[in-house]
Structure 1
């Protein structure tokens, strides 16, 4: 069955086709004969004049893609698209920040329930931000602290030292992405005051603090789950002079297998991910045992995973999407 798929994502002109997961998913859908449309989340509009259910539209264009650098897409004319009458599946793939704009889009897309399939499920995305949802699995996490006051952070740091853990901390925004604005604080706290001041001025929400894990030097594993099942993993190693391993900030990838603890983590959360309609999820694990994030908004990593493992994760994701659509 041919599906009409509206891809809600950032400007396609600027994607890195060599590693972008959204682009890989578009290529995979197109190879199956599905029809693709591209739209910007800012063009979503909801009209109650169309009856009790209302009508959700976007300003989108038909698009075809190809793996050719500099000529990777061909786009038709933009037009008003009814996300119920004209579309079967909405693929929600724009990058964070997970701000009020993102949250509002999930509320609007949630109104498509039972009519047009949205992946990942918008209500679940809204209720499972990466660094908050992960707290449901705190038994697998390093000691974690969420706060805004410097006095509280200092108390947490002292507790880590008392427990014999490293006194160095990592401070990161609660709703950041791609390794941005992640800082290491030495045990002496010499830059803590300035960092807390910066976070307080830049974000209204609290920030996350964890002990620095030396094991990150050996890599930060990205594990992709599709409908709650492990589809593959890569180990991301920091670049020279860096402690962040995200590929977006210069990390490198290598093939890997899962530790017994990582398998336990995936088994523990898999059924919940499937039940929530979180079809494509990427989790991050350090040192084979420390769960740090559950990425549900716009997970990445499938291109590198398929390169090292000889798999086709895009096809596996579309198998899951097609099965969910058929069951509607």
Structure 2
């Protein structure tokens, strides 16, 4: 019988905020079911004698204590000894990220990995949205200066984002065409995402949670005064909210498509009833915040659906 071990591939717990972190929330929930939690960083993955080995530690989480985690035992673990592996590190999507997915591909038929390593490699968190552009504000993906210039001439106010970043990092709002900034941005990020600015972002976006092909509620995140960034890591304030009929319809469509792609857990975002193009499949966040706002515990939903 498979051991009752859940491995979490993620950033070190000391870098996490237990008040809002979804990885801690998911781990705490399954820990309550008498599972052991093994934690490791992607850089600590190895293939030794055809076995996928991680150097990490067993850990216990406790929300009631100021130091919310305790490292119980450091060790190397053959990851096929686990019941489940959660891929929960922050992007960016880089070569280390890709290498980790290839390593985990070797054992995905022996242990349930969420999200599937092949799938998160194939479902680009920005470029996957190309198929849903009719539900989005006008958006282009390019590194061609003339295309960006024409786009800016049309809309006058444009958001530019890296394709492979996360958490609102390196996002710019262009009120004027700044050739030097854009050239630097392209040199750093290659292809970028350019999107018509939606002023209603000041009222907040909506983060929708998709679990196993189902739409599981949403929260809104309102940017702090003077900001256009709705990420809580950038100071946005979460509030409880309902989806509109349009948002629910689009969410159901994407949830169904992602399930076909073997994506079990994802987060998508709306601004002013338009999909903003971020399809979060590596480490979607917000479940703990939803619980604190509404009392709805979708960590329970996550594990129930996964065990089923």
TM-score normalised by L of structure 1: 0.90
Shift, 1:137, TM fit = 1.4
- Equivalent position SS for 2:256: helix
Residue of structure 1 aligned with 2:243, choices 241, 258, 265: 258
Aligned to 1:156: 151
Preserved CA contact (<8 Å) 2:221 2:231 = yes
Which residue number in structure 2 is paired with residue 326 of structure 1?
none
Q: Which of the residues 176, 201, 224 maps onto 2:165?
A: 176
C-alpha distance after superposition, 1:82-126 (max 9, x if no partner): 111x21211110101111100111111111122011101111101
Deviation at 1:275, TM superposition (A): 2.3
* Counterpart selection for 1:122 from 117, 126, 135: 117
The corresponding residue for 1:299 is 284
Indicate if the aligned counterparts of 1:142 and 1:290 stay in contact, CA closer than 8 A.
yes
In the TM superposition, what is the alpha-carbon distance from 1:2 to its structure 2 partner?
6.7
Q: How does 1:128-147 map to 2 (within 5 A)?
A: 128-147=123-142
CA distance in 2, matches of 1:276, 1:28: 26
State the partner residue of 2:72.
Answer: 76
Partner of 1:199: 185
Counting only pairs closer than 5 Å after superposition, residues 91-110 of structure 1 correspond to structure 2 as 91-110=86-105
Match of 1:90 in 2: 85
SS state at 1:257 partner: coil
- In the alignment, the residues of structure 2 paired with residue 221 and residue 152 of structure 1 have an alpha-carbon distance, to the nearest angstrom, of 29
Structure 1: stretches of 5+ with no match in the other structure:
324-328
Give the root-mean-square deviation of aligned CA atoms: 1.5
* 8 Å Cα contact 2:207/2:220 also seen in 1: yes
Rounded to whole Å, the distance in 2 between the matches of 1:280 and 1:316 is 11
- Give the distance between the partners of 1:197 and 1:291, measured in 2 at CA: 24
**Cα offsets for 1:214-235 (capped at 9, x unmatched):** 1111111100011111111011
- 2:8 corresponding residue in structure 1: 7
The structure 2 residue matched to 1:57, chosen from 43, 46, 53, is: 53
Aligned to 2:269: 284
User: Would the aligned equivalents of 1:153 and 1:209 in 2 still touch at CA under 8 Å?
Assistant: yes
- Quote how far apart the aligned CAs of 1:308 are: 1.9
Q: In structure 1, how many angstroms separate the alpha carbons of the residues matched to 2:271 and 2:87?
A: 27
Distance of 2:3 and 2:241 partners within structure 1: 36
Asked if residue 112 in structure 1 is aligned to residue 107 in structure 2, the reply is yes
Whole-angstrom CA distance in 1 between matches of 2:65 and 2:158: 40
Summarize deviations over 1:139-188 as a string: whole Å, max 9, x none. 21111111113222011223xx3xxxx420001111111111110111x4
Q: Partner of 1:308 in structure 2?
A: 293
How far has the Cα of 1:303 moved from its partner? 1.1
Deviation at 1:69, TM superposition (A): 5.1
